[in-house]
Homo-oligomer: A and B are copies of this chain.
Amino acid sequence: MEPRPAASGPCPGDSRAAEAAAAASLLNPGRAPSVAAVLPAGGSGERMGVPTPKQFCPVLERPLISYTLQALERVFWIEDIVVAVTGENMEAMKGIIQKYKHQRISLVEAGVTRHRSIFNGLRALAEDQPNSKLSKPEVVIIHDAVRPFVEEDVLLKVVTAAKEHGAAGAVRPLVSTVISPSADGRLDHSLERARHRASEMPQAFLFDVIYEAYQQCSDYDLEFGTECLQLALKYGHVNARLVEGSPDLWKVTYKRDLYAAESIIKGEYAQKNVSTANVRERISQHICIIMDTKEDETHVGHHLEEILKNELNHVEVTSGALCPAGRDLKQIILEQCYNYVCVNVMSSDFEETQRLLNMLEESDLSILYPVVVISVYFLDYKSVPFDQKVENLMQIREYAKEVRKRNILLCGLLIYYPQDEQKLQASLREGATIITTLIKERNSGLVGQLLIA
């Protein structure tokens, strides 16, 4: 059985220690090797057809490369991450590291080709560098800045295989048949699809194997080659071990891939066999419902909760009152839930919502992903007239404007509360649809709106 990827963010020491032990045992026999990663990020993104290199293109307003760094960072046994960026992007990259609080990152200047960038990264790790805080690892991972969904299990597999065989790389089945054209643009022959594989990333190498290969490389290799495994074979005589990777390892190449990446991050579809850590990362898959009352379980808030459970696949609904202590909620925030539905049955004010917003602002939760907060109210015509209720709740616009600066997307939702049980169910269903839509779209354009179900 494969170990679970290490959880991102703070988590209890116990489970982390267990994961460390699991990882270490897989990295045996012998002691666990020291591991570093090199990330060439000097590409110009010409295939994207946009001026911004693809690794810096935003996904949910955060640059793609930050997702990749996050994926590597949460693997605690990767000690150093060396990123090669061009001089002109150096300051931008420093800004990204600071803004998203990335750690264990060292920057080196990219070369004019991918191979030269990797070589620069390896040089920085080699021990003979003066003034370097980095130390030479036993195994080095090479990954792409534009493959943000790399998981710990495949990293562990390539590292383990590299330690044993000298080199290893992730592969995938070919999607299209590969053909060889003749000089005049005609089909010469086609390759048998089943006998070939697409070489993807990550790859891992015994540091000495790949560093020596790069040192022996010809200029032609450095200019026109792309495949590190081939260098290890040519100069190190190492036949790399090939490891089957998941479809999510694909390289973000075209602009459309940014939308595909966004759909994966949002969790727009439920994936089978996905590990717990990843469910947590699919940010629309986990919502927390906060009630302002501890009434019995038949009340309207619980009805809404039940409907949401049915509406959304793979949703974990966590109910809990904010008052008196709010300790439970703190734990939920620590566990990185990015969606909050604040159900106000008893009141029409913003006290509960304000308390929630304060706790979110105190945490660093919204640094990496936008957090959606929906403040729900009910409209009982008998007690308060519609127009008065709406006028009160319009204040939400001001709150929303304020927290938007902190990457928190706040909306209001007013649900009709008719006496008729069937009508009530209908408006609760409508409310649940709106909640689902807001969580899935996660669009800042509708911030501060009061929606009506």
Contact = CB atoms under 8 A, between A and B. Distances in A.
Interface of A: 47, 49-50, 165, 167, 169, 171-172, 174-182, 185-191, 193-200, 224, 226-227, 229-230, 233, 239-242, 247-248, 250-251, 253-257, 259-264, 268-269, 271-272, 386-388, 390-391, 394, 397, 433-434, 436-437, 441, 443, 445-446, 449-452
Nearest to A397: B452
Contacts of A390: 387, 390
Contacts of A441: 441, 443
Given A187-B169, A451-B446, A253 B391 contact: no
A242 B186 contact: yes
Contact of A272 (B49, B169, B181, B433): B49
Given A179-B196, A199-B179, A445 B437 contact: yes
B449 A229 contact: no
Nearest to A200: B176
Contacts of A449: 434, 449, 451-452
A224 B195 CA distance: 12
Contacts of A169: 187
Q: Which 8 A-B pairs have the closest CB atoms?
A: A437-B445, A387-B387, A259-B263, A256-B260, A176-B198, A186-B239, A260-B260, A187-B240
Contacts of A179: 171, 196-199, 227, 229, 242
Which DSSP category, helix, strand, loop or mixed, fits chain A's interface?
mixed
Contacts of A229: 179, 187, 190
Contacts of A251: 175-176
A268 B259 contact: yes
Contacts of A181: 171, 195-197, 242
A408 to B, nearest CB: 17
A199 B195 contact: no
Contacts of A198: 175-179
Contacts of A260: 256-257, 259-260, 263
Nearest to A261: B256
Contacts of A272: 49
Most-contacted residue by chain B among A190, A254, A443 (CB, 10 A): A190
Contacts of A446: 434, 437, 446, 451
Nearest to A47: B247
A227 B450 contact: no
Contacts of A185: 241-242
A272 B240 CA distance: 41
A237 to B, nearest CB: 12
A167 to B, nearest CB: 8
A190 B180 contact: no
